[in-house]
Protein backbone atom coordinates (compact mmCIF):
# COMPACT_ATOMS: atom_id res chain seq x y z
CA UNK A 1 0.00 0.00 0.00
CA UNK A 2 2.74 2.40 1.08
CA UNK A 3 4.74 1.36 -1.91
CA UNK A 4 1.98 2.18 -4.37
CA UNK A 5 1.42 5.54 -2.72
CA UNK A 6 5.11 6.34 -2.96
CA UNK A 7 5.23 5.43 -6.64
CA UNK A 8 2.22 7.68 -7.27
CA UNK A 9 3.90 10.53 -5.37
CA UNK A 10 7.05 9.94 -7.37
CA UNK A 11 5.16 10.45 -10.62
CA UNK A 12 3.68 13.72 -9.38
CA UNK A 13 7.08 14.91 -8.23
CA UNK A 14 8.65 14.06 -11.60
CA UNK A 15 6.00 16.13 -13.38
CA UNK A 16 6.70 19.08 -11.07
CA UNK A 17 10.45 18.72 -11.67
CA UNK A 18 9.76 19.02 -15.39
CA UNK A 19 7.75 22.16 -14.67
CA UNK A 20 10.42 23.64 -12.39
CA UNK A 21 13.40 22.76 -14.58
CA UNK A 22 15.53 25.91 -15.08
CA UNK A 23 16.21 27.14 -18.59
CA UNK A 24 18.83 29.54 -19.96
CA UNK A 25 16.07 31.64 -21.51
CA UNK A 26 12.74 32.44 -19.89
CA UNK A 27 9.76 34.46 -20.95
CA UNK A 28 9.32 37.65 -18.99
CA UNK A 29 6.06 39.45 -19.40
CA UNK A 30 6.39 42.40 -17.05
CA UNK A 31 9.79 42.15 -15.43
CA UNK A 32 11.74 43.45 -18.49
CA UNK A 33 15.50 43.69 -17.88
CA UNK A 34 17.28 47.03 -18.19
CA UNK A 35 19.94 47.81 -20.86
CA UNK A 36 23.50 46.75 -20.02
CA UNK A 37 25.65 49.79 -19.34
CA UNK A 38 29.01 50.30 -21.06
CA UNK A 39 30.80 50.34 -17.73
CA UNK A 40 29.61 46.76 -17.14
CA UNK A 41 31.67 45.59 -20.15
CA UNK A 42 34.97 44.13 -19.15
CA UNK A 43 37.42 45.83 -21.51
CA UNK A 44 37.19 48.62 -24.04
CA UNK A 45 38.99 46.65 -26.78
CA UNK A 46 39.94 49.94 -28.42
CA UNK A 47 42.80 49.88 -30.95
CA UNK A 48 44.69 53.01 -31.97
CA UNK A 49 43.46 53.68 -35.56
CA UNK A 50 46.87 54.90 -36.72
CA UNK A 51 50.10 54.35 -34.83
CA UNK A 52 51.83 56.90 -37.05
CA UNK A 53 55.12 54.97 -36.79
CA UNK A 54 56.84 56.22 -39.92
CA UNK A 55 55.19 59.53 -40.77
CA UNK A 56 58.38 60.70 -42.53
CA UNK A 57 57.93 57.98 -45.16
CA UNK A 58 54.77 59.65 -46.49
CA UNK A 59 56.66 62.32 -48.42
CA UNK A 60 58.00 61.97 -51.93
CA UNK A 61 61.60 60.72 -52.04
CA UNK A 62 64.49 60.33 -54.38
CA UNK A 63 66.64 57.47 -53.15
CA UNK A 64 69.43 55.93 -55.22
CA UNK A 65 68.17 58.02 -58.14
CA UNK A 66 64.73 56.42 -57.87
CA UNK A 67 61.78 58.76 -57.84
CA UNK A 68 59.32 57.61 -55.18
CA UNK A 69 55.87 59.18 -55.15
CA UNK A 70 54.36 60.55 -51.94
CA UNK A 71 52.19 58.04 -50.12
CA UNK A 72 49.70 59.79 -47.82
CA UNK A 73 48.62 56.63 -45.97
CA UNK A 74 48.79 55.91 -42.26
CA UNK A 75 51.11 52.98 -43.05
CA UNK A 76 53.22 54.07 -46.05
CA UNK A 77 55.61 51.62 -47.67
CA UNK A 78 59.25 52.03 -46.66
CA UNK A 79 60.80 54.20 -49.45
CA UNK A 80 64.22 52.53 -48.99
CA UNK A 81 62.60 49.20 -49.73
CA UNK A 82 60.90 50.71 -52.78
CA UNK A 83 64.28 51.97 -54.02
CA UNK A 84 65.75 48.49 -53.49
CA UNK A 85 62.82 46.88 -55.30
CA UNK A 86 63.41 49.23 -58.25
CA UNK A 87 67.21 49.01 -58.46
CA UNK A 88 67.92 45.52 -57.15
CA UNK A 89 70.21 44.87 -54.19
CA UNK A 90 73.25 44.95 -56.47
CA UNK A 91 72.57 48.56 -57.51
CA UNK A 92 71.92 50.18 -54.12
CA UNK A 93 74.31 51.27 -51.40
CA UNK A 94 74.77 49.44 -48.13
CA UNK A 95 73.29 52.48 -46.38
CA UNK A 96 70.02 52.02 -48.27
CA UNK A 97 69.99 48.28 -47.74
CA UNK A 98 70.50 48.74 -43.99
CA UNK A 99 67.21 50.69 -43.91
CA UNK A 100 65.41 47.55 -45.07
CA UNK A 101 64.91 44.00 -43.79
CA UNK A 102 65.86 42.48 -47.15
CA UNK A 103 68.46 39.77 -47.65
CA UNK A 104 71.44 40.77 -49.79
CA UNK A 105 70.77 38.08 -52.37
CA UNK A 106 67.02 38.57 -52.72
CA UNK A 107 66.92 40.64 -55.93
CA UNK A 108 69.59 41.36 -58.54
CA UNK A 109 69.11 43.28 -61.77
CA UNK A 110 71.79 43.06 -64.43
CA UNK A 111 72.44 43.02 -68.21
CA UNK A 112 70.68 45.57 -70.38
CA UNK A 113 69.94 43.02 -73.14
CA UNK A 114 68.03 45.34 -75.47
CA UNK A 115 70.23 48.37 -74.83
CA UNK A 116 67.37 50.63 -73.73
CA UNK A 117 68.80 51.80 -70.42
CA UNK A 118 67.24 49.35 -67.96
CA UNK A 119 68.40 45.95 -66.72
CA UNK A 120 66.75 42.91 -68.29
CA UNK A 121 68.00 39.97 -66.27
CA UNK A 122 66.02 39.87 -63.05
CA UNK A 123 66.78 37.33 -60.34
CA UNK A 124 64.27 37.11 -57.50
CA UNK A 125 64.28 34.95 -54.37
CA UNK A 126 61.04 34.19 -52.57
CA UNK A 127 60.37 32.46 -49.27
CA UNK A 128 57.23 30.91 -47.80
CA UNK A 129 56.25 32.48 -44.48
CA UNK A 130 53.58 31.37 -42.04
CA UNK A 131 51.76 34.16 -40.21
CA UNK A 132 49.86 33.67 -36.96
CA UNK A 133 51.31 30.16 -36.68
CA UNK A 134 51.32 27.73 -33.77
CA UNK A 135 53.98 27.86 -31.11
CA UNK A 136 54.71 25.12 -28.57
CA UNK A 137 55.99 27.78 -26.17
CA UNK A 138 52.69 29.25 -25.01
CA UNK A 139 49.20 30.32 -25.82
CA UNK A 140 49.93 32.83 -28.59
CA UNK A 141 50.57 32.93 -32.34
CA UNK A 142 53.82 33.87 -34.06
CA UNK A 143 54.58 36.08 -35.89
CA UNK A 144 51.36 37.96 -35.20
CA UNK A 145 49.54 39.64 -38.09
CA UNK A 146 46.13 41.21 -37.44
CA UNK A 147 43.89 41.45 -40.50
CA UNK A 148 41.36 43.46 -38.46
CA UNK A 149 41.14 44.41 -34.76
CA UNK A 150 41.87 41.21 -32.81
CA UNK A 151 41.50 38.92 -35.85
CA UNK A 152 44.53 36.65 -36.41
CA UNK A 153 43.79 33.80 -38.83
CA UNK A 154 46.61 31.43 -39.77
CA UNK A 155 48.00 32.46 -43.15
CA UNK A 156 50.72 31.45 -45.59
CA UNK A 157 52.37 33.98 -47.87
CA UNK A 158 55.16 34.12 -50.37
CA UNK A 159 57.53 36.84 -49.20
CA UNK A 160 60.62 38.52 -50.59
CA UNK A 161 63.70 36.94 -49.01
CA UNK A 162 64.41 38.85 -45.81
CA UNK A 163 67.09 38.76 -43.12
CA UNK A 164 67.27 38.93 -39.33
CA UNK A 165 64.38 38.96 -36.91
CA UNK A 166 60.81 38.25 -37.98
CA UNK A 167 59.29 40.76 -35.57
CA UNK A 168 58.65 44.46 -35.95
CA UNK A 169 60.65 45.39 -32.87
CA UNK A 170 62.92 43.62 -30.43
CA UNK A 171 60.70 41.77 -27.90
CA UNK A 172 57.56 42.20 -29.96
CA UNK A 173 55.61 39.30 -31.41
CA UNK A 174 54.22 41.32 -34.31
CA UNK A 175 55.53 40.47 -37.78
CA UNK A 176 57.59 43.21 -39.48
CA UNK A 177 56.17 45.04 -42.48
CA UNK A 178 57.57 42.71 -45.17
CA UNK A 179 55.97 39.64 -43.59
CA UNK A 180 52.31 40.23 -44.30
CA UNK A 181 49.40 39.31 -46.51
CA UNK A 182 48.87 39.26 -49.41
CA UNK A 183 51.77 37.60 -51.17
CA UNK A 184 53.54 40.56 -52.79
CA UNK A 185 52.78 41.87 -56.25
CA UNK A 186 55.69 40.97 -58.56
CA UNK A 187 56.42 43.45 -61.39
CA UNK A 188 58.70 42.88 -64.33
CA UNK A 189 59.13 44.45 -67.73
CA UNK A 190 57.95 42.80 -70.95
CA UNK A 191 60.93 40.95 -72.44
CA UNK A 192 62.87 40.70 -69.15
CA UNK A 193 64.57 37.37 -68.51
CA UNK A 194 63.16 36.55 -65.11
CA UNK A 195 64.54 33.92 -62.75
CA UNK A 196 62.39 33.36 -59.70
CA UNK A 197 63.82 31.05 -57.06
CA UNK A 198 61.43 29.57 -54.56
CA UNK A 199 63.32 28.80 -51.34
CA UNK A 200 60.93 26.71 -49.33
CA UNK A 201 61.34 27.89 -45.74
CA UNK A 202 58.02 26.29 -44.75
CA UNK A 203 57.32 22.82 -43.34
CA UNK A 204 55.13 21.66 -46.27
CA UNK A 205 56.00 21.27 -49.97
CA UNK A 206 55.12 24.17 -52.27
CA UNK A 207 55.60 25.38 -55.86
CA UNK A 208 54.90 28.53 -57.85
CA UNK A 209 52.66 28.41 -60.90
CA UNK A 210 52.74 31.57 -63.02
CA UNK A 211 49.11 31.88 -64.01
CA UNK A 212 48.71 33.85 -67.24
CA UNK A 213 52.37 34.88 -67.38
CA UNK A 214 54.08 33.81 -70.63
CA UNK A 215 56.42 30.99 -69.55
CA UNK A 216 57.60 27.74 -71.17
CA UNK A 217 56.16 24.50 -69.82
CA UNK A 218 59.61 22.94 -70.11
CA UNK A 219 62.95 24.76 -70.11
CA UNK A 220 65.69 24.14 -72.69
CA UNK A 221 67.62 22.19 -70.04
CA UNK A 222 64.67 19.80 -69.81
CA UNK A 223 63.47 20.99 -66.41
CA UNK A 224 59.76 21.41 -65.91
CA UNK A 225 58.74 25.00 -65.31
CA UNK A 226 54.97 25.14 -64.81
CA UNK A 227 54.85 24.66 -61.06
CA UNK A 228 52.26 21.90 -61.25
CA UNK A 229 53.60 18.79 -59.49
CA UNK A 230 51.04 16.55 -61.20
CA UNK A 231 52.12 17.10 -64.80
CA UNK A 232 55.62 18.40 -64.09
CA UNK A 233 58.46 18.27 -61.61
CA UNK A 234 57.84 17.25 -57.98
CA UNK A 235 57.06 19.99 -55.48
CA UNK A 236 59.79 21.92 -53.70
CA UNK A 237 60.05 20.24 -50.31
CA UNK A 238 61.07 21.96 -47.03
CA UNK A 239 64.67 23.18 -47.11
CA UNK A 240 64.87 22.87 -50.90
CA UNK A 241 64.80 25.44 -53.71
CA UNK A 242 63.85 25.64 -57.39
CA UNK A 243 64.27 28.35 -59.99
CA UNK A 244 61.49 29.11 -62.47
CA UNK A 245 62.41 30.95 -65.67
CA UNK A 246 60.39 33.09 -68.05
CA UNK A 247 60.71 35.87 -70.59
CA UNK A 248 57.16 37.22 -70.91
CA UNK A 249 56.38 38.48 -74.42
CA UNK A 250 53.04 40.02 -73.47
CA UNK A 251 52.31 42.71 -70.91
CA UNK A 252 49.36 42.59 -68.51
CA UNK A 253 48.04 41.93 -65.03
CA UNK A 254 48.63 38.25 -64.27
CA UNK A 255 48.66 35.99 -61.23
CA UNK A 256 50.85 33.45 -59.44
CA UNK A 257 50.09 30.80 -56.86
CA UNK A 258 51.25 27.59 -55.24
CA UNK A 259 50.05 24.53 -57.14
CA UNK A 260 50.50 21.92 -54.39
CA UNK A 261 47.12 20.90 -52.93
CA UNK A 262 45.96 24.08 -54.65
CA UNK A 263 42.50 24.14 -53.08
CA UNK A 264 44.08 24.56 -49.65
CA UNK A 265 47.37 26.29 -50.41
CA UNK A 266 45.91 29.01 -52.61
CA UNK A 267 43.21 29.78 -50.07
CA UNK A 268 45.80 29.82 -47.25
CA UNK A 269 47.29 32.85 -49.01
CA UNK A 270 49.93 31.48 -51.38
CA UNK A 271 48.84 33.64 -54.30
CA UNK A 272 49.69 37.08 -55.60
CA UNK A 273 49.49 39.42 -58.55
CA UNK A 274 52.13 39.30 -61.28
CA UNK A 275 52.30 42.40 -63.44
CA UNK A 276 54.20 42.53 -66.73
CA UNK A 277 54.75 46.18 -67.65
CA UNK A 278 55.10 47.25 -71.28
CA UNK A 279 58.66 47.59 -72.52
CA UNK A 280 59.89 51.19 -72.61
CA UNK A 281 63.36 52.80 -72.55
CA UNK A 282 64.81 53.53 -69.08
CA UNK A 283 61.98 51.60 -67.49
CA UNK A 284 63.10 50.45 -64.04
CA UNK A 285 59.99 48.85 -62.59
CA UNK A 286 59.19 48.35 -58.92
CA UNK A 287 59.75 44.57 -58.77
CA UNK A 288 57.78 44.14 -55.55
CA UNK A 289 54.73 45.88 -54.18
CA UNK A 290 54.58 44.36 -50.70
CA UNK A 291 51.06 44.55 -49.32
CA UNK A 292 49.86 45.63 -52.80
CA UNK A 293 48.03 49.00 -52.90
CA UNK A 294 49.59 52.17 -54.25
CA UNK A 295 52.53 51.73 -56.64
CA UNK A 296 54.99 54.38 -55.49
CA UNK A 297 57.19 54.03 -58.56
CA UNK A 298 54.91 53.36 -61.56
CA UNK A 299 56.36 52.12 -64.84
CA UNK A 300 57.03 54.41 -67.79
CA UNK A 301 54.05 53.11 -69.76
CA UNK A 302 51.66 53.61 -66.86
CA UNK A 303 52.93 57.16 -66.30
CA UNK A 304 52.30 57.94 -69.99
CA UNK A 305 48.57 57.28 -69.62
CA UNK A 306 47.75 57.60 -65.91
CA UNK A 307 48.37 59.84 -62.92
CA UNK A 308 48.46 57.00 -60.40
CA UNK A 309 48.45 53.21 -60.18
CA UNK A 310 47.04 50.86 -57.51
CA UNK A 311 47.17 47.07 -57.15
CA UNK A 312 44.05 45.69 -55.48
CA UNK A 313 44.30 42.08 -54.36
CA UNK A 314 41.17 40.41 -52.96
CA UNK A 315 41.33 37.17 -51.01
CA UNK A 316 39.04 35.26 -48.67
CA UNK A 317 39.88 32.98 -45.77
CA UNK A 318 38.02 29.99 -44.44
CA UNK A 319 38.47 30.11 -40.67
CA UNK A 320 38.14 26.33 -40.35
CA UNK A 321 41.09 25.87 -42.69
CA UNK A 322 43.06 28.74 -41.18
CA UNK A 323 42.80 27.41 -37.62
CA UNK A 324 44.17 23.97 -38.55
CA UNK A 325 47.72 25.34 -38.46
CA UNK A 326 47.04 26.97 -35.08
CA UNK A 327 45.88 23.81 -33.33
CA UNK A 328 48.85 21.48 -33.67
CA UNK A 329 52.60 21.76 -34.06
CA UNK A 330 53.51 18.35 -35.46
CA UNK A 331 53.60 18.78 -39.28
CA UNK A 332 52.20 15.26 -39.70
CA UNK A 333 49.11 16.13 -37.65
CA UNK A 334 48.65 19.39 -39.54
CA UNK A 335 49.04 17.60 -42.89
CA UNK A 336 46.49 14.94 -42.01
CA UNK A 337 43.93 17.41 -40.70
CA UNK A 338 44.36 19.74 -43.66
CA UNK A 339 44.64 17.23 -46.51
CA UNK A 340 42.32 14.42 -45.41
CA UNK A 341 40.04 15.54 -42.60
CA UNK A 342 39.19 19.06 -43.74
CA UNK A 343 36.79 18.95 -46.69
CA UNK A 344 36.77 22.01 -48.89
CA UNK A 345 33.47 21.06 -50.51
CA UNK A 346 31.85 21.65 -47.13
CA UNK A 347 33.76 24.85 -46.42
CA UNK A 348 32.86 28.50 -46.47
CA UNK A 349 34.59 31.87 -46.59
CA UNK A 350 34.66 33.91 -43.37
CA UNK A 351 37.24 36.66 -43.73
CA UNK A 352 37.46 38.92 -46.77
CA UNK A 353 40.68 40.82 -47.33
CA UNK A 354 41.69 43.67 -49.58
CA UNK A 355 45.47 43.87 -49.75
CA UNK A 356 45.78 41.69 -46.67
CA UNK A 357 43.50 43.75 -44.45
CA UNK A 358 39.83 43.83 -43.58
CA UNK A 359 37.94 47.02 -42.78
CA UNK A 360 38.77 49.12 -40.80
CA UNK A 361 42.46 48.21 -41.22
CA UNK A 362 42.03 48.77 -44.99
CA UNK A 363 41.91 52.48 -44.08
CA UNK A 364 45.52 52.28 -42.92
CA UNK A 365 47.08 51.30 -46.24
CA UNK A 366 44.57 50.14 -48.83
CA UNK A 367 42.51 53.14 -49.85
CA UNK A 368 42.63 54.76 -53.26
CA UNK A 369 43.65 58.38 -52.65
CA UNK A 370 42.74 60.68 -55.53
CA UNK A 371 42.59 64.29 -56.62
CA UNK A 372 39.99 65.75 -58.99
CA UNK A 373 40.55 65.25 -62.73
CA UNK A 374 42.94 62.33 -62.40
CA UNK A 375 43.15 59.05 -64.24
CA UNK A 376 43.97 56.15 -61.95
CA UNK A 377 44.92 52.69 -63.13
CA UNK A 378 43.46 50.00 -60.90
CA UNK A 379 44.72 46.46 -61.34
CA UNK A 380 42.31 44.10 -59.56
CA UNK A 381 42.73 40.39 -58.88
CA UNK A 382 40.12 38.12 -57.36
CA UNK A 383 41.97 35.46 -55.37
CA UNK A 384 38.81 34.39 -53.53
CA UNK A 385 37.03 31.10 -54.05
CA UNK A 386 33.84 32.94 -54.93
CA UNK A 387 33.04 35.49 -57.62
CA UNK A 388 32.98 39.17 -56.76
CA UNK A 389 30.97 42.21 -57.76
CA UNK A 390 33.19 45.24 -57.10
CA UNK A 391 31.20 48.43 -56.66
CA UNK A 392 32.43 52.02 -56.37
CA UNK A 393 30.34 54.66 -54.62
CA UNK A 394 30.30 57.97 -56.49
CA UNK A 395 32.17 56.71 -59.55
CA UNK A 396 31.80 54.74 -62.74
CA UNK A 397 35.07 53.26 -63.95
CA UNK A 398 35.99 51.87 -67.36
CA UNK A 399 37.31 48.36 -67.79
CA UNK A 400 40.34 48.27 -70.10
CA UNK A 401 41.76 44.73 -69.70
CA UNK A 402 40.55 41.26 -68.80
CA UNK A 403 43.22 38.83 -67.59
CA UNK A 404 45.94 41.15 -68.84
CA UNK A 405 44.61 41.31 -72.40
CA UNK A 406 43.52 44.77 -73.64
CA UNK A 407 39.88 45.09 -74.68
CA UNK A 408 38.90 46.65 -78.00
CA UNK A 409 37.72 50.25 -77.45
CA UNK A 410 34.07 49.30 -78.05
CA UNK A 411 34.30 46.61 -75.37
CA UNK A 412 35.71 48.99 -72.75
CA UNK A 413 32.46 49.51 -70.92
CA UNK A 414 31.90 51.99 -68.11
CA UNK A 415 30.07 50.52 -65.12
CA UNK A 416 29.73 50.80 -61.38
CA UNK A 417 29.69 47.06 -60.68
CA UNK A 418 32.35 44.74 -62.09
CA UNK A 419 31.96 41.02 -61.87
CA UNK A 420 35.25 39.18 -61.39
CA UNK A 421 35.51 35.39 -61.54
CA UNK A 422 37.90 33.58 -59.18
CA UNK A 423 41.56 34.03 -60.30
CA UNK A 424 40.45 36.64 -62.84
CA UNK A 425 42.13 40.04 -63.19
CA UNK A 426 40.64 43.22 -64.54
CA UNK A 427 42.27 46.59 -65.18
CA UNK A 428 40.12 49.65 -64.63
CA UNK A 429 40.52 53.27 -65.58
CA UNK A 430 39.07 55.25 -62.69
CA UNK A 431 38.55 58.88 -63.64
CA UNK A 432 37.86 61.59 -61.12
CA UNK A 433 36.40 64.16 -63.48
CA UNK A 434 33.31 65.55 -61.69
CA UNK A 435 30.85 65.13 -64.58
CA UNK A 436 28.13 63.11 -62.89
CA UNK A 437 29.23 60.01 -64.75
CA UNK A 438 32.87 59.25 -63.95
CA UNK A 439 32.76 60.97 -60.58
CA UNK A 440 30.05 62.66 -58.54
CA UNK A 441 32.66 64.96 -56.93
CA UNK A 442 34.97 64.86 -53.90
CA UNK A 443 34.15 62.59 -50.99
CA UNK A 444 35.12 59.64 -48.85
CA UNK A 445 33.47 57.16 -51.21
CA UNK A 446 33.30 53.50 -50.26
CA UNK A 447 34.24 50.73 -52.65
CA UNK A 448 33.59 47.09 -51.87
CA UNK A 449 32.39 43.74 -53.08
CA UNK A 450 28.62 43.88 -53.50
CA UNK A 451 28.30 40.16 -52.82
CA UNK A 452 27.34 41.08 -49.29
CA UNK A 453 29.29 38.33 -47.53
CA UNK A 454 32.38 40.22 -48.71
CA UNK A 455 31.67 43.24 -46.52
CA UNK A 456 31.68 41.18 -43.35
CA UNK A 457 34.36 39.82 -41.06
CA UNK A 458 33.04 36.41 -40.08
CA UNK A 459 29.55 37.80 -40.52
CA UNK A 460 30.22 41.06 -38.66
CA UNK A 461 29.62 44.21 -40.70
CA UNK A 462 31.05 46.61 -41.67
CA UNK A 463 34.21 44.60 -42.24
CA UNK A 464 35.60 42.48 -45.03
CA UNK A 465 37.04 44.19 -48.07
CA UNK A 466 35.41 47.59 -47.61
CA UNK A 467 37.73 50.46 -48.45
CA UNK A 468 37.35 53.99 -49.79
CA UNK A 469 38.16 56.14 -52.79
CA UNK A 470 39.09 59.25 -50.85
CA UNK A 471 39.84 62.70 -52.20
CA UNK A 472 43.13 63.90 -50.79
CA UNK A 473 41.67 67.03 -49.14
CA UNK A 474 39.58 64.71 -47.01
CA UNK A 475 42.60 63.01 -45.44
CA UNK A 476 44.02 64.10 -42.11
CA UNK A 477 47.72 64.50 -41.25
CA UNK A 478 48.04 60.82 -40.42
CA UNK A 479 46.49 59.69 -43.68
CA UNK A 480 43.17 58.66 -42.20
CA UNK A 481 39.94 59.83 -43.85
CA UNK A 482 38.26 62.77 -42.13
CA UNK A 483 35.13 61.05 -40.91
CA UNK A 484 33.19 61.30 -37.67
CA UNK A 485 35.11 60.14 -34.62
CA UNK A 486 32.31 57.94 -33.36
CA UNK A 487 32.43 55.25 -36.09
CA UNK A 488 36.22 55.24 -35.95
CA UNK A 489 36.10 54.46 -32.23
CA UNK A 490 33.41 51.86 -32.75
CA UNK A 491 35.17 49.87 -35.49
CA UNK A 492 38.79 50.15 -34.34
CA UNK A 493 37.76 47.87 -31.53
CA UNK A 494 38.53 44.20 -30.90
CA UNK A 495 35.29 43.69 -29.00
CA UNK A 496 33.25 44.87 -31.97
CA UNK A 497 34.64 42.13 -34.24
CA UNK A 498 34.51 39.63 -31.36
CA UNK A 499 30.75 40.40 -31.50
CA UNK A 500 30.68 41.64 -27.90
CA UNK A 501 29.50 45.19 -28.59
CA UNK A 502 26.00 46.15 -29.74
CA UNK A 503 26.11 47.73 -33.20
CA UNK A 504 24.05 50.87 -32.42
CA UNK A 505 25.56 51.66 -29.04
CA UNK A 506 25.42 55.45 -29.38
CA UNK A 507 23.86 58.58 -27.89
CA UNK A 508 20.27 58.39 -26.77
CA UNK A 509 19.97 55.05 -28.43
CA UNK A 510 22.51 53.40 -26.13
CA UNK A 511 19.61 52.62 -23.87
CA UNK A 512 17.05 51.92 -26.58
CA UNK A 513 19.19 49.68 -28.81
CA UNK A 514 21.94 48.45 -26.46
CA UNK A 515 22.11 44.93 -25.07
CA UNK A 516 19.17 43.84 -22.94
CA UNK A 517 20.27 42.71 -19.49
CA UNK A 518 19.61 39.28 -18.03
CA UNK A 519 16.77 38.02 -15.86
CA UNK A 520 17.46 37.30 -12.21
CA UNK A 521 17.48 33.64 -11.30
CA UNK A 522 14.08 32.69 -9.76
CA UNK A 523 15.32 31.44 -6.38
CA UNK A 524 11.89 30.24 -5.20
CA UNK A 525 11.71 27.85 -8.13
CA UNK A 526 15.35 26.93 -7.76
CA UNK A 527 14.92 25.97 -4.07
CA UNK A 528 11.70 24.11 -4.82
CA UNK A 529 13.50 22.18 -7.54
CA UNK A 530 16.30 21.29 -5.15
CA UNK A 531 13.95 20.15 -2.40
CA UNK A 532 11.82 18.06 -4.74
CA UNK A 533 14.88 16.46 -6.35
CA UNK A 534 16.14 15.50 -2.90
CA UNK A 535 12.75 14.04 -2.01
CA UNK A 536 12.73 11.99 -5.21
CA UNK A 537 16.17 10.62 -4.41
CA UNK A 538 15.06 9.69 -0.90
CA UNK A 539 11.93 7.89 -2.14
CA UNK A 540 13.89 6.01 -4.78
CA UNK A 541 16.43 4.93 -2.17
CA UNK A 542 13.66 3.78 0.15
CA UNK A 543 11.94 1.84 -2.64
CA UNK A 544 15.12 0.10 -3.72
CA UNK A 545 16.05 -0.91 -0.17
CA UNK A 546 12.60 -2.49 0.43
CA UNK A 547 12.16 -5.94 -1.12
CA UNK A 548 9.18 -5.90 -3.45
CA UNK A 549 5.69 -6.87 -2.32
CA UNK A 550 6.19 -6.25 1.39
CA UNK A 551 6.57 -2.90 3.11
CA UNK A 552 8.10 -3.78 6.51
CA UNK A 553 9.73 -7.21 6.46
CA UNK A 554 13.02 -6.31 8.16
Q: Residues 77, 130, 365, 458: which binds another protein (CB under 8 A)?
A: 130
Q: Residues 10, 13, 54, 105: which binds another protein (CB under 8 A)?
A: 105
Q: Which x/- pattern over 38-77 shows residues binding another protein (rule: CB under 8 A)?
A: ----------------------------------------
At a CB cut-off of 8 Å and minimum separation 6, what does 222 contact?
none
Half-sphere exposure of 295 (CA within 13 A, CB side): 31
3-class SS string, 7-42: HHHHHHHHHHHHHHCCCCCCCCCCCCCCECCHHHCC
Q: Residues 61, 85, 134, 310: which binds another protein (CB under 8 A)?
A: 134
Residue number, 94 or 410, with CB nearest to another protein: 94
Burial of 410 (0-12, 13-18, 19+ CB in 10 A): exposed
Candidates 73, 75, 96, 71; CA nearest to 85 is 96
Q: Residues 93, 230, 348, 522: which binds another protein (CB under 8 A)?
A: 93
Is residue 90 part of the contact set for another protein (CB under 8 A)?
A: yes
Is residue 261 part of the contact set for another protein (CB under 8 A)?
A: no
Q: Name the segment binding another protein (CB under 8 A); options: 105-113, 220-228, 413-421, 509-517.
A: 105-113
Distance of closest approach, residue 150 Cβ to another protein, in angstroms: 20
Distance of closest approach, residue 347 Cβ to another protein, in angstroms: 23
Q: Which x/- pattern over 168-187 shows residues binding another protein (rule: CB under 8 A)?
A: --x----x---x--------
Half-sphere exposure of 95 (CA within 13 A, CB side): 2
Distance of closest approach, residue 170 Cβ to another protein, in angstroms: 5
Q: Name the segment binding another protein (CB under 8 A); options: 20-28, 134-142, 404-412, 518-526.
A: 134-142
> Distance between CA atoms of 293 and 467, rounded to whole angstroms?
11
In this structure, how many other beta carbons lie within 10 angstroms of the beta carbon of residue 512? 9
> Distance between CA atoms of 279 and 273, rounded to whole angstroms?
19
> Distance between CA atoms of 213 and 209, rounded to whole angstroms?
9
User: CA angle at residue 251 from 245 to 253, to 5 degrees?
Assistant: 90
Q: Which x/- pattern over 317-356 shows residues binding another protein (rule: CB under 8 A)?
A: -----------xxxxxx-----------------------
At a CB cut-off of 8 Å and minimum separation 6, what does 483 contact?
444
Is residue 539 part of the contact set for another protein (CB under 8 A)?
A: no
> Distance between CA atoms of 441 and 471, rounded to whole angstroms?
9
Q: Residues 101, 123, 202, 296: which binds another protein (CB under 8 A)?
A: 202
Binding region for another protein (CB under 8 A): 89-94, 97-98, 103-105, 110-112, 115, 117, 119, 127, 129-131, 133-139, 142-143, 161, 163-166, 170, 175, 179, 199-203, 238-241, 328-333
Amino acid sequence: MLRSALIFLLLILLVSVYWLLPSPVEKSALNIPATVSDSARQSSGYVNPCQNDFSEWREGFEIEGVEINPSPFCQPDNPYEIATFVKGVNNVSMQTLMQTRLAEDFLTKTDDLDGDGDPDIIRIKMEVIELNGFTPDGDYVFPAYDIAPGIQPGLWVFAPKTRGMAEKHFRSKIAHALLRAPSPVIRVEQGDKVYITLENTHYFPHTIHFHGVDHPWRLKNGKNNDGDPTTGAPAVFPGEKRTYEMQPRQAGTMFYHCHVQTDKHLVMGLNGMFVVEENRPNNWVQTFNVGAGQVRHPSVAVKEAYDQEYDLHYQAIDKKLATIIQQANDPRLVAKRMNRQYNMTEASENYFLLNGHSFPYTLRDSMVVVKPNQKIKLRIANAQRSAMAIHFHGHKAKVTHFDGVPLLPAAQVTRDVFEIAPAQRIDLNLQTENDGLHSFGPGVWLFHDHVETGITTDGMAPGGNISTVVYQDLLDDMGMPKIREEPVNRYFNKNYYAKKNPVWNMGDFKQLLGDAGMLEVNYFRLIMLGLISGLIAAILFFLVRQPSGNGDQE
